[in-house]
Chain A
């Protein structure tokens, strides 16, 4: 198993302000809000 390469979406979480890795990314705060 390699982990696969065809990933549909990437979400990034971090303490840094600049954590974007692609255009479809949600920010950490959006995800927290979404969960709540």
Chain B
């Protein structure tokens, strides 16, 4: 057993990032420190991905190897920082703020700190994390490789793994999942910093505009909720912010540094979530076409190298997907996510239905009116609102108002984006603003063209909201007086309080607060009925002499709590999926042959509740089958 004190090693990746950041600040005499922050993050992401893939290839992902890696990176960054060539040119002059600006800045800082506290104190308990985000991480740790393995939940295999690579390193180094939520939280911080930089450098926003951009990002309801989770939409949002910054820099200054930084950000975005394709494409197209129009021939070598960088970052995961599923994206859109018709009315239906997800209010009456309006529009368009070709669930419905990370809408923010885009159309503005607005709209349209509607799409649209922040900041501060911008900022900060304090999955205050509730209970917050069965089965397993446990669970059932309750991977218990019937059954166990002495299986029967659509009554059982010596030990 590894001693607990070793968990201080979790500070090493942060130390490495800080030293890289300071080194870049030192050389960036002409630049804002925020650029150095983004460059340091992208460098860190590339190092993380490279280390994960290389160590994984040799089956050497372990506490020792990962610790040695980050120690070496930190030492190298320290040596570079202290080298003679490095001159400390960064300016740390604190800008002057008006009273309202200072209030807004403090508001942003308080939101970030409060969400960070939740991220640090609460265990990962997001639904998708319990089924695959966190489960794949513990399988990787057990297997010492990110290679595919037999599983009942193939999302553990084909889904983009970038965010989980970061969690993997923190989990290995800390010997626990106590820092897992910080990956999304750090992405929120980076998203805020990057949005203000884009507002300033690309869109020419003044201090007010940059501050509004920061407030806009920090107060996105879905962002606040997700930033303390182990989902990956904020991680994608952050890498996209980096990409948009560097690709727009590349358009104006097509240097190797900007080309490589843009390519690395895009590669990391794609490695995190396929949504990167739809959101990044319009920005990529606009910037590359404009850059080529000016400097035609000189750019091709850089574009070729950039393409190679994007491909190299994604090579490992794409290759594994290609090998098992026959496509670099895995089952991808065939998994049921992709639209099956591209007729204009159908795309229009998706646009209306996706926008409607953000318009829920605490008033049921208003929500009912909203849903009626959406249905009326569909009737007028002559489109079936429940068309299975464009609808992931069996029926369309607008989730009721919630403070939940899967369904919360962003009504105020959507209105502000709408206002900013509308003002671009109705007033004369800079070309840069128009192009930026066009890229946001194009990203949203692509999203509607590619993906079937889901009631959980508000979550997947988080990157669009974060990317819109610089535009909102620039436009609002550009066309309104400071008093109006300041008042709007204060309204946004105040409106964020419920989402910070009453996150349904991880509330900060109240009787169910994370400060009061036990850690084990918190894992089951999104499906509390499972707890007793899981606790009973795992306690029982601890009482028998069996260290090879097979797992038979449904494709969307909780797996991760089994690992936690069986010892968080620190007990000498090996857990593998058995009796797998999907495509992954072809794969051999990366750790070698497996013969279980016990098998855990979920038996979860769902019955529809009469008269209550979308509600199910579950009968939950966990079976433990024992054989041989394990069974005798129980006698």
Q: Which residues in A have some Cβ–Cβ distance to B below 8 Å?
A: 1-4, 6-16, 19, 21, 28, 31-32, 34-35
B388 within 8 A of A: no
Chain A residues in 8 Å Cβ range of B626: 7-11
Distance in angstroms between the alpha carbons of A3 and B589 in the assembled complex: 13
Q: Indicate which residue in B540, B578, B620 contacts A2 across the interface (CB closer than 8 Å).
A: B578
B593 within 8 A of A: yes
* CB–CB B532/A13 < 8 A: yes
Chain A residues in 8 Å Cβ range of B550: 1, 3-4
Q: Indicate which residue in A1, A6, A11 contacts B624 across the interface (CB closer than 8 Å).
A: A11
Going nearest first, the 10 A-B pairs with the smallest beta carbon separation are A3-B578, A13-B536, A14-B621, A8-B631, A7-B625, A3-B579, A11-B624, A13-B537, A14-B533, A13-B533
Q: Indicate which residue in B579, B620, B623 contacts A11 across the interface (CB closer than 8 Å).
A: B623
* CB–CB A3/B543 < 8 A: no
Q: Indicate which residue in B578, B621, B631, B634 contacts A12 across the interface (CB closer than 8 Å).
A: B621
Within residues 614 to 629 of chain B, which ones have a CB less than 8 A from any CB in chain A?
A: 619-628
How close is B586's CB to chain A, nearest CB, in angstroms?
13
Distance in angstroms between the alpha carbons of A31 and B631 in the assembled complex: 14
* CB–CB A28/B536 < 8 A: yes
B595 within 8 A of A: yes
Given contacts A28-B536, A35-B539, contact A14 B619 (CB under 8 A): yes
Interface centre among A10, A11, A16 (most CB of B within 10 A): A11
Chain B residues in 8 Å Cβ range of A14: 532-533, 536, 603, 619-622
Chain A residues in 8 Å Cβ range of B596: 1, 3-4
Distance in angstroms between the alpha carbons of A14 and B531 in the assembled complex: 9
* CB–CB A6/B578 < 8 A: no
Nearest residue (CB) in B for A11 is: B624
Distance in angstroms between the alpha carbons of A4 and B595 in the assembled complex: 8
Listed by A's residue number, 26 A-B pairs whose Cβ atoms lie within 8 Å are: A1-B593, A2-B579, A4-B596, A4-B599, A8-B628, A9-B626, A9-B631, A11-B540, A11-B626, A13-B534, A13-B535, A13-B536, A13-B537, A13-B621, A13-B622, A14-B532, A14-B533, A14-B621, A14-B622, A15-B529, A15-B533, A15-B619, A16-B619, A31-B536, A34-B543, A35-B542
How close is B552's CB to chain A, nearest CB, in angstroms?
7
Majority secondary structure, B binding face: mixed
* CB–CB B621/A19 < 8 A: yes
Distance in angstroms between the alpha carbons of A32 and B576 in the assembled complex: 25
How close is A1's CB to chain B, nearest CB, in angstroms?
5
Nearest residue (CB) in B for A29 is: B536
Given contacts A10-B623, A16-B621, contact A3 B634 (CB under 8 A): no
* CB–CB A1/B589 < 8 A: yes
Distance in angstroms between the alpha carbons of A19 and B596 in the assembled complex: 24
Chain A residues in 8 Å Cβ range of B533: 13-15
* CB–CB B627/A6 < 8 A: yes
Distance in angstroms between the alpha carbons of A4 and B535 in the assembled complex: 24
B256 within 8 A of A: no
Distance in angstroms between the alpha carbons of A34 and B589 in the assembled complex: 35
Nearest residue (CB) in A for B618 is: A15
Interface centre among A6, A8, A21, A32 (most CB of B within 10 A): A8
* CB–CB A9/B532 < 8 A: no
Given contacts A31-B539, A35-B540, contact A3 B631 (CB under 8 A): no
Distance in angstroms between the alpha carbons of A2 and B593 in the assembled complex: 11
Q: Indicate which residue in A7, A15, A31, A32 contacts B599 across the interface (CB closer than 8 Å).
A: A7
Distance in angstroms between the alpha carbons of A15 and B533 in the assembled complex: 6
Distance in angstroms between the alpha carbons of A2 and B585 in the assembled complex: 10
Chain A residues in 8 Å Cβ range of B622: 12-14
Distance in angstroms between the alpha carbons of A15 and B537 in the assembled complex: 12
Chain B residues in 8 Å Cβ range of A11: 537, 540, 623-626
B69 within 8 A of A: no
How close is A34's CB to chain B, nearest CB, in angstroms?
7
B594 within 8 A of A: yes
Given contacts A1-B593, A4-B627, A12-B622, contact A35 B543 (CB under 8 A): yes
Chain B residues in 8 Å Cβ range of A15: 529, 532-533, 619-620
* CB–CB B634/A1 < 8 A: no
* CB–CB A3/B599 < 8 A: yes
Q: Indicate which residue in A7, A19, A31 contacts B540 across the interface (CB closer than 8 Å).
A: A31
* CB–CB B620/A1 < 8 A: no
Chain B positions 298 through 312: 1 when the CB is less than 8 Å from some CB of chain A, otherwise 0 = 000000000000000
Distance in angstroms between the alpha carbons of A13 and B531 in the assembled complex: 10
Interface centre among B540, B579, B620 (most CB of A within 10 A): B540
Given contacts A1-B578, A8-B627, A11-B623, contact A28 B593 (CB under 8 A): no
Distance in angstroms between the alpha carbons of A31 and B534 in the assembled complex: 13
Interface centre among A9, A10, A13, A21 (most CB of B within 10 A): A13
Chain A residues in 8 Å Cβ range of B536: 13-14, 28, 31-32
Distance in angstroms between the alpha carbons of A18 and B502 in the assembled complex: 36
